[in-house]
Structure 1
Amino acid sequence: MIIELLRVKVPPEHREQYIQKDAEIWTAALARYPGFLGKEVWINPNDTGEIILVVQWATREEWKAIPQAELDAIDQKFNQELGFESEIVESCEYRSVVRSWNS
């Protein structure tokens, strides 16, 4: 499994709106592609303007097979409907090496 991690900065007063629009537009769009396993949204209790998006993909190849033109179209729709500025301040990926933990 591959994890796509995005750290996003938003105006604190718009955090819930961002989360809602992200689910409606980005998550719904990504769910149509092979390899999409799910998505988690984390909020920072010490910084109300920070959101962490954790997207799970079956393989890196399936994730990266999404055409850039389609990603650009989704992003354009998202930004038009969002109505305020947000910024991805960190983007990275992680690969799972352990599938379960037994004590």
Structure 2
Amino acid sequence: MVIEWLKFRVDRESREKFIQQDEAIWTTTLSTYPGYIGKEVWIEPTAPGKVIMIIRWQTREQWKSIPMKDLAAIEKKFSKVMREMNISYKMIESKEFQIRKFPSKQ
């Protein structure tokens, strides 16, 4: 399993709307691609202007096989909605992790 880890800066007053629109646009679309497992949104009580998203993929190959034109179209749609709602956001960090599982001791 592979984890796509994204960190955003969002206006604290707009955080919940940002999360809702991300779910409606990004999550709904990504969930249609092969290999998508699920997504979590983490919010830090002491940092209300930051949002972390964890997206789980079966394999890196499946995740990276999403056409760039599709990703650009999704981002364009999301950005348009954010502008219309007057919500400022910026991705400030992205990482990739692999989950390693070890055999349990018997």
Between the aligned residues of both structures, percent identity stands at: 42
Check 1:100–1:53 CA distance in 2 against 1; reply closer, same or farther (3 A cut). farther
Give the Cα separation in 2 of the matches to 1:70 and 1:7.
21
Offset from partner CA, 1:26-59 (integer Å, 9 cap, x none): 0000000000000000001111000000000000
Give the Cα separation in 1 of the matches to 2:88 and 2:14.
10
Offset from partner CA, 1:44-87 (integer Å, 9 cap, x none): 11110000000000000000000000000000000101222211
Aligned to 1:78: 78
Alignment of structure 1 residues 8-23 onto 2, 5 Å: 8-23=8-23
Give the Cα separation in 2 of the matches to 1:101 and 1:43.
32
Who wins on radius of gyration, i.e. which is larger?
Answer: 2
Aligned to 1:40: 40
Check 1:99–1:17 CA distance in 2 against 1; reply closer, same or farther (3 A cut). farther
Aligned Cα root-mean-square deviation (Å): 1.5
Q: Secondary structure at the match of 1:33?
A: coil
* Residue 98 (1) aligns with residue 96 (2): no
Give the Cα separation in 1 of the matches to 2:101 and 2:44.
26
Which residue type is aligned with residue 95 of structure 1?
Answer: Q
Which residue type is aligned with residue 39 of structure 2?
Answer: K
TM-score, normalisation: structure 2? 0.92
Runs of at least 4 residues off by over 4 Å: 99-102
Q: Secondary structure at the match of 1:41?
A: strand
Which residue type is aligned with residue 51 of structure 2?
Answer: I
